[in-house]
A and B are shown apart, each in its own frame.
Chain A
């Protein structure tokens, strides 16, 4: 294995890892806030990708310019899902845990089916964007521009999430996470915080979807393979921890890339799940978990 190969593989793992991290961030945020695992997370990402494709096809608007539009759409969509379904699921008296699982699980299957109904089972791609099919060559190591842009946006999104946590709303979010009953006593509208949390979570995965659409195919099942990795990322980084999601995403990206080199590509998930099991054995709360 040459040095060039090692560096190229590391670069690929890094860029993919940042995408994994951003997909996982939204999932982690929602889970940390209200102990609900959103099984429709990958499907929200898929919807964002289709939104990019549809807008691009209709208007030719570059995915980079669509970023605020689609992120806002997903933000509102996330809030609507909370108001319409999750808030109701939280209110049931019996088997609340089960209801919460099945409501997002059902939503995932519904969205996937609806996407296939509306757009068909075809794989589609956004082509001829500003960045598509271009790469930055640094001393023989290639950085594809769409993925580089995705990495930059991902880091910016994490910085944004960090900034939000410093605001009044962020403090309310943190307080609600700590004790959802007590916050009501000091005048925080728990329902509103939850809804905004869902909006942020969906918005984050929407941003990931937009950036991904710049270099990845779109299809009704595209969310599934990313969602699986996102669950591992969240558990590895620690439930509810943003920094944990970032570190775990990068770790998974690199482990996956190098397992494919050292073992064989068909076994790359073995590396990912191997690390995951090790962390669970020695640190069940995840790398940065507060539980």
Chain B
């Protein structure tokens, strides 16, 4: 007994002395486009990470998510997460340089990023070289986790999973309404995101026996998309599948409207279509558009933490969480949970803890089954949802058991 008491005693003493030391902050680098064409998304992302850090670090009433009890990392003596932001300007080479700077100068023990897949690709090369974990919150290109990287972890779905969800939805909606889509049109920007997305869509369309009526690769941020719109009109497919960032998403809707064309159904690969700037810019033209999403703001019955976290985010950034910002908050919470379980801020320990992650969906704000990484670093339990615009806001319409609204399906009528 004495021996056991002694062990407990010294354990408590050690814990007390550890707490007495001011626990060192754990520095996490965050790379996003904070200026330039992606700045709107990047600045929202910055706000999202700040909210996530607040949830982890501050003292507050417990929130029903991982690390939601606040007060810092308890297994590291209450150490706080310290975020250092870097601006990639949406340029893969600048992203690479900034990631390197964060690791070598700011001593970041992990990097989180980075919106566009092109920047995610270069950042994850740097983290691999320096042996620091890279948490991909919102890069959705499927090729990213297929490069044999040991330090790459993606908490959100990639476009193949997203796209599979989109085609599952098309099959389900055909069953439900009896009006199957008979053709699709691919419309995608010419960087890694659009190209990868279209490759998967082409493959899955072939598998589903859906003819591709138009296959249009366009130059991102073009001054005009009127010819592209004309091509889409000429093809007049049942479902338009755009993979576009915000400015192009606004522009193509306007360009199609200008030539008197309204596709029967738009099913977007999120990105620009999920941005609040898109909703403002496209206005009534966005009505009825559908988009895949990894997040459902209206799924608060399933995930009671959503309104709480959304309240914090809204107070901080004056808008609701969206597909991107929710994934960003989740990414940091998953990373912080791993660091805490590791009980160490050493990159190697963090990596081991990330590999061991097995978080149930109820510990997140996402409609996912959970967070669990496969050997490529991909979370395999993040199933997407399909949302549709009703009066300027996205409502979840699929999976049908999660739906907040009945889908409006104009194909075949």
Report A's interface with B, CB cutoff 8 A: 1-2, 5, 8-9, 12-13, 15-16, 20, 113, 116, 120-125, 127-128, 133, 135, 137, 142, 144, 147, 215-217, 219-221, 225-226, 229, 256-258, 260-261, 264-269
Q: Which residue of A lies closest to B259 (CB)?
A: A142
The answer to whether B43 touches A121, judged by C-beta atoms less than 8 angstroms apart, is: yes
CB-CB under 8 A from A123, the residues of chain B are 40, 246-247, 250, 277-278, 280-281
Q: Once bound together, how far apart are the Cα atoms of A133 and B278, in whole Å?
A: 16
Interface-located stretch among B17-25, B48-56, B214-222, B373-381: B214-222
- The chain B residue sitting closest to A117, CB to CB, is B35
Contact in complex: B257, A133 (CB < 8 Å): yes
Asked whether B285 is an interface residue with its Cβ less than 8 Å from the other chain, the reply is yes
Residue-by-residue, is B236-260 near A (CB-CB < 8 Å gives 1, otherwise 0)? 0000000000110011001001111
Q: Which of chain B's residues have a CB closer than 8 A to the CB of A268?
A: 219, 222, 227
- Residues of chain A within 8 A (CB-CB) of B213 are none
Q: Is B231 touching A16 in the complex (CB atoms < 8 A)?
A: no
Decide if B228 touches A220 in the complex (CB within 8 Å): no
What separation, in Å, do the CA atoms of A51 and B366 have in the docked complex?
40
A217/B251 contact (C-beta < 8 A), A116-B35, A121-B42, A268-B219 known: yes
B39 near A116 with CB under 8 A, answer: yes
Among B35, B223, B260, which residue has its beta carbon within 8 angstroms of that of A16? B223
**Distance of A217 Cα from B228 Cα, bound (Å):** 18
Can you name 14 A-B residue pairings with CB atoms under 8 Å? A2-B234, A12-B259, A116-B35, A121-B41, A121-B43, A122-B277, A123-B246, A133-B258, A133-B284, A142-B260, A257-B227, A258-B227, A260-B231, A261-B227
A257 touches B37 (CB 8 A): no
Q: Are A225 and B222 interface neighbours, CB within 8 A?
A: yes
Q: Name the CB-closest residue of B to A20.
A: B223
| B39 lies within 8 A of A266 (CB) | no
In the complex the two chains form, is A135's CB within 8 Å of B246's CB?
no
Q: Which of A12, A133, A142, A265 is the one whose CB lies under 8 Å from B216? A: A265
Known: A122-B277, A225-B221. 8 other contacts (CB 8 A): A12-B227, A16-B223, A16-B224, A142-B259, A147-B258, A216-B254, A221-B37, A261-B230
- Cβ–Cβ contact B283 & A135, under 8 A: no
> CA–CA, A260 to B252, complex, Å?
14
Chain B residues whose CB sits within 8 angstroms of the CB of A267 once the complex forms: 219
Instruction: Report, nearest first, the 4 A-B pairs whose CB atoms are least far apart.
Output: A121-B39, A12-B226, A144-B258, A265-B218
Residues of chain B with a CB closer than 8 A to A229's CB: 223
Given contacts A12-B226, A124-B281, A219-B247, contact A5 B217 (CB under 8 A): no
A250 to B43 Cα, complex, angstroms = 38
Contact of B358 with A by CB under 8 A? no
Whole-angstrom distance between the alpha carbons of A128 and B283 in the complex? 9
**B376 CB to closest chain A CB, in angstroms?**
29
Contact (A135, B259) CB under 8 Å given A2-B234, A5-B234, A260-B227: yes
Tell me the minimal C-beta distance from B260 to chain A in angstroms: 5
Q: Is the CB of A264 within 8 A of B217?
A: yes
Indicate whether A256 sits within 8 Å of B224 (C-beta atoms), given known contacts A123-B250, A125-B281: yes
Chain B residue contacts of A266, Cβ below 8 A: 190, 217-219
Q: Are B247 and A260 in contact, CB atoms less than 8 angstroms apart?
A: no
CB-based contact A125/B226 at 8 Å: no
A115 to chain B, nearest CB (A): 11
Partner of B228, one of A5, A127, A221, A265: A265
Option from A13, A20, A120, A215 in Cβ contact (under 8 Å) with B254 = A215
Expressed in whole angstroms, the Cα–Cα distance for A124 and B250 within the complex equals 10
A220's partner among B39, B233, B254, B276 (CB-CB below 8 A) is: B39
| A144, B230: Cα distance in complex, Å | 13
The answer to whether A8 touches B230, judged by C-beta atoms less than 8 angstroms apart, is yes
Residue ID in chain A nearest B246 by CB atoms: A123
B399 to chain A, nearest CB (A): 31
> Is B9 positioned at the interface, with any CB of A under 8 Å from its CB?
no
CA distance A267 to B278 in the complex (A): 25
Partner of B250, one of A125, A135, A221: A125
Closest chain A residue, CB of each to CB of B40? A121
Partner of A113, one of B35, B41, B257: B35
Once the chains bind, are B285 and A122 in contact (CB under 8 Å)? no
Asked if B36 CB lies within 8 Å of chain A CBs, one says yes
CA distance A211 to B231 in the complex (A): 26
Complex interface: chain B residues within 8 A of A147 (CB): 258
Known: A116-B35, A225-B222. A124 touches B230 (CB 8 A): no
From residue 7 to 44 of chain B, which have CB atoms closer than 8 A to chain A? Answer: 35-43
Complex partner residue of B227 from A122, A124, A265, CB under 8 angstroms? A265
Closest Cβ of chain B to A15, distance in Å, is: 8
Q: Which residue of A lies closest to B190 (CB)?
A: A266
Are B228 and A133 in contact, with the CB atoms below 8 A?
Answer: no
Which chain A residues lie closer than 8 Å to B36 at the CB level? 221
Asked if residues A217 and B250 are in contact (CB atoms below 8 Å), the reply is yes
Q: B41 to chain A: which residues have CB within 8 Å?
A: 121
Cα distance, A269 to B228, chains bound together (Å):
14
Query: In the complex, what residues of B have CB within 8 A of residue A120's CB?
Result: 39-40, 43
When the two chains form their complex, are residues A265 and B219 in contact, meaning their CB atoms are under 8 A apart?
Answer: yes
Whether the pair B39, A5 counts as a contact (CB closer than 8 A) is no
